Structure 1
Amino acid sequence: MTAVGAQANGEAALWHFDENNPTSLTSTNYQITEALLLSTQATHEKHDVGVCSVVSQPTGACTISTGCYDGFLRIWDLRMPCERACDHPHPTLFTCSSGGGGIWRHKWLIGRYVLMAAMHAGFVAVGPVCPSQYNDYNEMLEPLAWYRPSAKLAYGIDCYDHRSGHLTDDKHLLAIVATCSFYDNSVNFSRITLPSVPSE
């Protein structure tokens, strides 16, 4: 994982985190010059309101998701326009409404499902999202389920995905999910069952 920061003197600082060694951190500084800026391709998309969370999709090298205060999850294609299929120029692959709550945090589960802490809407599960679906752009996804809908200001969510293949007898995926909301002063653990998705 890499974090990027900008400094007032025109330098960009990159910090590289090693996921396999949590105590390892390396940093690199780059002097940003006018020549470098002129030779760099850039593209951007604007949300209408604040972005609350950004997460890379574990199985998609060029895919990230954003949770926004407007209550929408968006899944993005990070490739430059010239690298995308000519009939799919827009970077937004999917959009999903949380049902009325800003998406404060979200987490990918096995790269196929997204779990969201959606403030006033509670906690939401979306999916499955599969690479074979990436044949259109800005497609609307429907939430798969809501849980703890009475949670006030759902702020946090994380999950343990059974990568070792813990499936039920009828081939459903089991996951342990931790959730918290602003007024509860507690963390809640739940077990959820989702349809399994074959790897592509």
Structure 2
Amino acid sequence: MSTALVPSALPADAVELGRIQDAWGIKGWVRIQPHSADTDALFASQDWFLQPPEARFARGFSAFSGCVTVRVAELKAHADGLVARLDGVADRNTAESLKGCRISLPRSAFPETPEGEYYWVDLIGLDVVNREGVNLGVVRDLMATGPTSVLVLEYPVVEDGVEKSAERMIPFVSAYIDEVDRQARRIVADWQPDY
């Protein structure tokens, strides 16, 4: 294990933001594949938490086990992702040994968003109700559809006496979203269950 990879505990509010794809160049840089187009949090933090790849992608991985913290020396946008130079990673072989590592940051380290803008992670799990107070479901995911995002809700339905989950989608735009109350963990939408 590199001396720059310091064993640590993953913060309770950690959010996975990307992965190390591979080495980039010969001087120890790594190519990062962010999970979102919004990379502000990665740029705002000097310390990243790394975890090994999931088991199905970890074949041959031996750089470290558990969770480690690494200091980011440089980070730049490049092509369709990012490239980073990490302290203590000075050659291509060491950079290649980190391939597949998951990059996380504590949610508390994210930069503040402007009024009316939200990180996707803050919307997942919120209850969605319409103006009449009818429960429309819980935000399970968000989907990027070009210029807008779409809330993907999960809600229960009963089919043949068996309760199952169904999916509903609501565009996350001001025409349909009246209020996002993160404290109450609720979104109010101008939407009907039969849309």
- The TM-score normalised by the length of structure 1 is 0.24
Give TM-score, length-normalised by structure 2: 0.25
- Which structure is higher in RCO with an 8 Å CA cutoff and minimum separation 6? 2
Q: Decide which structure has the larger Cα Rg and report it.
A: 2
